[in-house]
Structure 1
Amino acid sequence: MEIVSELIKSYFLSFALILGIIIMLVENRKERPQGTDHIIVIVVILSVIVMNKAADDLFRWTLYDDTRNYNGDGAMTLMYIRSAMEHVLFPLIAYIELLLIVPLKKKYVFFLPELICMIAESVNLGKPGIIFSYNKYLGYEDGPLMLLPYFVGMIYLLLLMRYSILFIKEKEMSKGVTVIFIVFLTLAECYLEAAYIVVDVMDEIVALDVIIYYFYLVAIYQSEMKIKLRTSELELERSKRMLMLSQIQPHFMYNSLTSITYLCDKDASQAKRALIDFSKFLRKNLEAMTNKNLVPIKEELEHTKVYLSLEKIRFGDDLDIIFDVKDSDFMVPVLSVQPLVENAVKHGINRSESGCGTVCISTEETEVCHKVIIKDDGGGFEVESLNDLDEGHIGISNVRKRLFDECGGELIIKSAPNEGTECTILIPKENHYENSGN
C-alpha cells in the first residue's frame, strides 16, 4: 500500500490533467472542432509517457538492487527502450500540435527533426553512449548528444510559436496569445529539464499545454461557426431576394395582365377571379422575402394552384394539371414547389413539340422522409446542362440550396430530351433529420 500511495502522490497531477483532457473531449464530442483527433493522439502519447515513467519508479521501488550488476540483464534492455521512448515521444507531441496550423505542403518536411531523433535513439539502443547510457547499476549517464531530444523539442516549439502567430494574425484571434504563453512555458521547461535545474515536471507542463491548446481550438471553432452561420444567413436572405425577383419576371406579369385584360371583355367574373389570383401570387412572393420559417405543404400547394390558375388562362386546354396529395402533414421552405412547377410549364410543356402536356404534382410519405414529386411530359433536357446555368436561371439551384439549408432537404432531378422531367423533393422527417446531424 505504501508503494501505491507513493505512485499516486508522484503521478496524481499528471493523471488528473490527462483525465481532465479526456473529460473535455467527451463533453465537446458533438462540436468536434478541427484538431480533436490530434488531441486524442496526444492524450494517448502522454498517457504512455506517464505510465512509462511510473513503471520505472515502480521497478526501482520494488525490484531494484543497487548492488547488483545488471549488464546483459533484461531489466537494462527495458531501461534503454523506456528512455528512448520518452526522448522520442515528447517532441512528437509538439509536432502533432504543429500539424494543426502549418501549411499543408510543409507538414511532412517538418517531420525531419523527429525522424533524426528516432534514428539517433535507435542507433543509441545498439551502441549505447551516443545520447545516453546506463552503467551496470542502472545509473543514467549522459552522452555527447544528450541534448538532441531537447533540441528537437525546442525546434518544434519555436515553429509552433511562429506559425501560431501567423495563424492568429490570419484569423484575428485575440485568444491566440495563450498559445504564445504555453509555448514559452514549455520552452523554459525544456531548458530547465536539460540543465537539471528542474526535473520530473515535464508531464504536468505538457498536459497543461494540451488543455490550454484544446480550449484555443474550441474558441477558434466556435468563432468560425458563428461566422459561417452569419454568412449562411446572409446568403439565404440573398437567395430569397433573388428568388422573389426571378418569380416576378416582366414577361410573366405581361402575359398574366394581357390575359386578364382579354377576359375583361369576354368574361368579367373570370377576369375578377384572375385578378384576385394575380394579387395573391404577388403578395406571396413578397412575403417570401421576410418569411424565415418553413410553411405547411398545404400552403405551398395553394400558392402553386394560384400560379397554375393564371397559366391556365393562357394555355387553356393545352395544359392539364393533376394533383395527387397523399401526404400533407409536413413543412417545406417557402416557394420551393411553385418554382419547379413553373419550370415544368415554361421549359417542359411550352417547349414541347406539341406545345401542350400534363403537369402532375403529388406527395407521398416513406419511413424516413416526405416526398413532393413534380412530373411533366414535356420536352425534357440533359440534366448535366444544369451545371452551366447562369444567375438568370437560379430557380433550381436556389430551391436546392434552400431545401438543404432550411430543413436538410434534397432535390433530385431526372430528365431526358423528349421524355419529360421529374423533380423530387425529399424532406427528412424531424427525428430522422435530427439524428443525421449527430
Structure 2
Amino acid sequence: MSTIRCINISLELFGVFLSLILILSLLLYRIEKDALNSCFLKVLILNTLLLGSDAAAWGLRGRPGTAAWYGVHTANFLVYVLGYFLLAAFTDYLMNYIAAKGPVSRKPVILMRGLALTAVLLVIISQFNHMYYLIDENNVYHRQGLFWLSQMWGIFCIVLNAGLLFHHRKKLSDKDILVFTVYIALPLLAMLIQIFVYGIALLYLSTTITILCIYLGIQEEEANKRREKERELTQGRIAVMLSQIQPHFLYNSLLGIKQLCDTEPRKASDALVHFSYFLRGNLDSLTDIRLIPFSKEINHVQDYLYLEKMRFEERLNIEWDITFDDFFLPPLTLQPLVENAVRYGITEQEEGGTIWIQSKLTSDAVIITIIDDGCGFDTAETKADGHTHIGITNVRQRLESQCHASLAIISIPGVGTKAEITIPLKEGIL
C-alpha cells in the first residue's frame, strides 16, 4: 500500500472517529433539540459517511475479487453523492442559524437541494458514460475528462453559501462570520487544488476541520446559555428570598418575641431560635445553586409557620401529611406557597382556617400539595400589589429550569386555594 493511500485512509478514519465523538456528544449532552441542532447533526452524520466511504474507496482500490469490485464502485459513488448532500445540509444549517437571528427566506435551501439532486443525477449518468471517473479491470479508480465538472458543481454550491453569508452578514456576529467563512473557504480551496492535483484527500480533511470549528462554536454558545440561565436562577433566588423577608413580617415577629420575653421567656427563646433559622434558611438560598433535600425545605416552612402561629394562634391551623420526603427540589419552593396561603388565604378572613401540606410518591412523580380553606381568589385577575404573582412566577420558573417540574394553582373565591407541584421521577430527584 502506497504512502499516499496510507495517509488518506489514516486521516479519514481519524475524521470518522472525531465525527462520531461529536455525534455522541450532541445526542447525549445537548439539552435543547431544535431545527438548528438537527441540521448540524445531519451535517455530522453525512460527513461521517462521506469520510468512511472515501476511506473504503482508498482501501479497496486495486484489490481483486467480487466483493472488492462492488466495494470500490459503491464507495466511490457514495463519495460523490454524499459530498453534494453534505453541501445541501450545510446550507440548511446556515439558513436555520441565520433564521435564529431574524426572518429569512427558505428559497436558497430549496435551490441548493435542487442543485444537489441535479449533481447526483449526473453522477448516476457517469456510472454509464464514465465522464467523471472510470474504474478499470484492475479495480483502480481513474479520473476522466469531465472530472472538473463534478468539482464545479461543488464550487458553485459553496459560492452560493458565501453569497448567502454576505447577504445576511448584518444579522451575524463577527465570530459567526469568521467560522462560516472558514467552513466555506477551506473546502473551496481544497476543491480548486484537487482539480489539478490528485493525491492527498484535502477536501474531506478540510470539511472535518471546519465542522470541528462549528462544533466548538456551538459548545461556546451552549456554555453562554448555561451561564445566562444560572444568572437568571440566581436573580430568581434573590428575588424570592427578598420577597419572603418583608419588613412587616420581621417587625411583627420581633414584636411578638418581645411580648413573650415579658410573659413567657422560655417560649421567647424558642421563637428566637425559629426566627434565626428562618433568616438563615432565606440567606442559604443564595448559595444553594443545586437542589436541596425536601426535609430541609420542610424545616424552613416549619420555622416560618411557628412564627405565624405565634401571631395568629388559634386562627391558623396546620395539618401535615408527609408520606414521602426522600427527594430533592429547588430551595425556597414550598415556603413561598405556604406564605401565600397564610397571607392571602387564611388571615384574610376573621375566622381563620386550616392549611394542609401533603407529599406523596406516585408511579412516575412526586406530588406536593398545599391546600387552604381561606378566602380564595380569581386566578385570572392580577393583584394590585403583585407580590403573590411574582413569588409564584419565580417558583414556577425555578421548578421548570432545575427539575422539569410543574406548578398548578387552582383557587375558588370563598372556598380556598390548592397549589400542586409535580416533580417527574425521571429527573433524578431521588
TM-score by length of 1: 0.71
1:420 and 2:416 aligned: yes
SS at match of 2:357: strand
Q: CA-atom RMSD, angstroms?
A: 4.8
SS at match of 1:414: strand
Alignment match, 1:70:
none
Which of 46, 51, 54 pairs up with 1:41? 46
Alignment match, 1:186:
187
The higher radius of gyration belongs to: 1
Measured in 1, the distance between the counterparts of 2:181 and 2:105 equals 21
Displacement, 1:224?
A: 1.8
Displacement, 1:359?
A: 0.2
Measured in 1, the distance between the counterparts of 2:132 and 2:46 equals 29
Alignment match, 1:94:
87
User: Would the alpha carbon gap of residues 259 and 161 (structure 1) be closer, same or farther in structure 2, given more than 3 Å must change?
Assistant: same
Greater shift in the superposed pair: 285-294 or 121-130: 121-130
Displacement, 1:416?
A: 3.5
Alignment match, 1:217:
214
SS at match of 1:378: coil
Alignment match, 1:109:
108
Which of 400, 403, 427 pairs up with 1:433? 427
Unaligned runs of 5+ in 2: 32-36, 67-72
User: Would the alpha carbon gap of residues 124 and 375 (structure 1) be closer, same or farther in structure 2, given more than 3 Å must change?
Assistant: closer
Do 2:44 and 2:211's aligned partners in 1 also have CA atoms closer than 8 Å?
yes
Displacement, 1:208?
A: 1.3
Aligned positions, number: 406
> Residues 290-346 of structure 1: CA distance to partner in whole angstroms, max 9, x if unpaired?
344544333322221222122223333222111222233333333222111111111
Measured in 1, the distance between the counterparts of 2:320 and 2:287 equals 28
Alignment match, 2:307:
310
Do 2:275 and 2:307's aligned partners in 1 also have CA atoms closer than 8 Å?
yes
Which of 243, 246, 259 pairs up with 1:246? 243
Displacement, 1:184?
A: 3.1
Displacement, 1:288?
A: 2.6
Do 1:101 and 1:167's aligned partners in 2 also have CA atoms closer than 8 Å?
no
Alignment match, 1:158:
159
1:301 and 2:298 aligned: yes
The one-letter code matched in structure 2 to 1:413 is I
Alignment match, 1:402:
398
SS at match of 1:373: strand
User: Would the alpha carbon gap of residues 90 and 255 (structure 1) be closer, same or farther in structure 2, given more than 3 Å must change?
Assistant: same
Alignment match, 1:30:
28
SS at match of 1:219: helix
Measured in 1, the distance between the counterparts of 2:423 and 2:351 equals 32
The one-letter code matched in structure 2 to 1:360 is W
Measured in 1, the distance between the counterparts of 2:385 and 2:160 equals 47
Do 1:84 and 1:121's aligned partners in 2 also have CA atoms closer than 8 Å?
no
Give the % identical residues.
28
User: Would the alpha carbon gap of residues 359 and 208 (structure 1) be closer, same or farther in structure 2, given more than 3 Å must change?
Assistant: same
> Residues 57-109 of structure 1: CA distance to partner in whole angstroms, max 9, x if unpaired?
779x889xxxxxxxxxxxxxxx9x99998766534322322322332324432
The one-letter code matched in structure 2 to 1:95 is A
SS at match of 1:242: helix
User: Would the alpha carbon gap of residues 372 and 108 (structure 1) be closer, same or farther in structure 2, given more than 3 Å must change?
Assistant: same
List aligned pairs for 1:13-162, cutoff 5 A: 16-17=13-14, 19-25=16-22, 27-28=24-25, 29-32=27-30, 34=37, 35-44=40-49, 89-102=82-95, 103-104=98-99, 105-116=104-115, 118-119=117-118, 149-161=150-162
Measured in 2, the distance between the counterparts of 1:362 and 1:121 equals 64
TM-score by length of 2: 0.72
> Residues 12-62 of structure 1: CA distance to partner in whole angstroms, max 9, x if unpaired?
45862563345424552423593123211343456567778999x779x88
1:345 and 2:331 aligned: no
